Structure 1
């Protein structure tokens, strides 16, 4: 690992469809003195941005060159097919590739599912759209349909379009990636955040923060009990029963050791 990075901020690149908000909020709470700069990049530029040093880490779509980049897979997205709301596919809960056999299926140049001309279902369009956004416009014109990760369908949402999940289709996997030779403390800190590590378990800058002080205990631990001392005559220290028992064995004396006064005699005194 290299020393603390010189940059005054941490630069995080992310591709379309990825929402880094929850991790950014944790970063702001944990490292409020280090700004996090978000860089939105096209889906095909995520790896290049990291290689050229344009960002310290990136949320990208796999695959990436693992000889240069380290990558931690985060989640896999559901693949959906996007079509007009009045399309016959709207009656289905899910769609199979065979259901698209007669449909024109667009294959944009920034495809994120890894389709080839041989694996793309349906009938190919005359030309490939440059971007997913361009393909969405063609779908809205009722020219064909489009297969994308669900996050991209939501990103390009339109009122006149809808989508359904596609079974047995390739899926896109999102990962956190960075250049292996530039694994800084701040990169380690962000790795800990996306993995859900706490401040105390993090290996980055947050690991040096002091743990919160323990709350004082409400009640002190009780010490060993002193044995009770027994007074002469069977009386326990401070005990009532012992006092009575002692008085009974000493000829009817009351508790405390005092003898009873003799009762007054009745009648005339003898002459």
Structure 2
């Protein structure tokens, strides 16, 4: 039997059901969002970014957690930096601040293109370590002195970023390498051990940034590194 088709809501003049209208609006909204619709007026502006470099051996995660634990004036971005470029990245503006290993030079100024003087906030010291292969007789000591190393050749550093290469050499049983504790731990492997060197000077880690670029955000980060939370009083 032939039946006349029922007229659609659009042709009959009747209003479409509310659920259909809502679905249509939702699809339209999603389409607008996909086209990059601008946020409603009054939305908070995006925070500026504070880029902080850190050299191998420095673990900045605890400082980042402290910074992110409350409302701050900038969003923190951590940038790994080779030791050989710790001064360069400040001079070129690639980072706003940097955890560095001292000395940069005698007074922290004029290094590799850094304009003017640097603020240097010294943070901690690192004990020097002797890295040797597990078959090296020096590995039997709990602590070593410079005199203990007299008969064992040192693997000299060819460039500032060769710590892993030197550890690989001593792993073969040839000589020893001198590294700050954090680098000895960073490059530890099963075929080497590291022992404290009792009578050698420690190295120092500092937070550095150009004096000309000092501002409240950088000072706030210094406070966070020193243990101040977002709620702490100055």
TM-score using structure 1 length = 0.62
Alignment partner, residue 149 of structure 1: 180
Write the distance in 2 (CA, Å) between the matches of 1:202 and 1:181.
26
Q: Given that residues 97 and 166 in structure 1 are in contact (C-alpha distance below 8 angstroms), is that contact kept between their aligned partners in structure 2?
A: yes
Alignment partner, residue 210 of structure 1: none
Alignment partner, residue 220 of structure 2: 189
Alignment partner, residue 81 of structure 1: 130
Detail structure 1 runs of 4+ shifted over 2 Å in the superposition.
30-35, 197-203
Bigger relative CO (Cα 8 Å, ≥ 6 apart): 2
Q: Given that residues 73 and 217 in structure 2 are in contact (C-alpha distance below 8 angstroms), is that contact kept between their aligned partners in structure 1?
A: no
Counterpart check, 1:167 vs 2:198: yes
In structure 2, the CA distance between the partners of 1:199 and 1:37, relative to structure 1 (3 Å rule), is: closer
Following superposition of structure 1 onto structure 2, how do residues 43-192 of structure 1 map, counting pairs within 5 Å? 43-64=83-104, 65-66=108-109, 68-111=117-160, 131-192=162-223
Shift of 1:68: 1.5
Shift of 1:31: 3.4
Alignment partner, residue 27 of structure 1: 67
Following superposition of structure 1 onto structure 2, how do residues 255-266 of structure 1 map, counting pairs within 5 Å? none
Q: Given that residues 192 and 202 in structure 1 are in contact (C-alpha distance below 8 angstroms), is that contact kept between their aligned partners in structure 2?
A: no
Q: Given that residues 60 and 175 in structure 1 are in contact (C-alpha distance below 8 angstroms), is that contact kept between their aligned partners in structure 2?
A: yes
Alignment partner, residue 225 of structure 1: none
Shift of 1:201: 4.4
Q: Which runs of 5+ in 1 are unaligned?
A: 1-5, 112-129, 204-271
Write the distance in 2 (CA, Å) between the matches of 1:71 and 1:202.
23
Q: Given that residues 117 and 211 in structure 2 are in contact (C-alpha distance below 8 angstroms), is that contact kept between their aligned partners in structure 1?
A: yes
RMSD: 2.0
Shift of 1:32: 6.2
Write the distance in 1 (CA, Å) between the matches of 2:77 and 2:159.
25
Q: Given that residues 99 and 206 in structure 2 are in contact (C-alpha distance below 8 angstroms), is that contact kept between their aligned partners in structure 1?
A: yes
Q: Given that residues 46 and 58 in structure 1 are in contact (C-alpha distance below 8 angstroms), is that contact kept between their aligned partners in structure 2?
A: yes
Q: Given that residues 55 and 86 in structure 2 are in contact (C-alpha distance below 8 angstroms), is that contact kept between their aligned partners in structure 1?
A: yes
Q: Given that residues 110 and 131 in structure 1 are in contact (C-alpha distance below 8 angstroms), is that contact kept between their aligned partners in structure 2?
A: yes
TM-score using structure 2 length = 0.71
More helix by share: 2
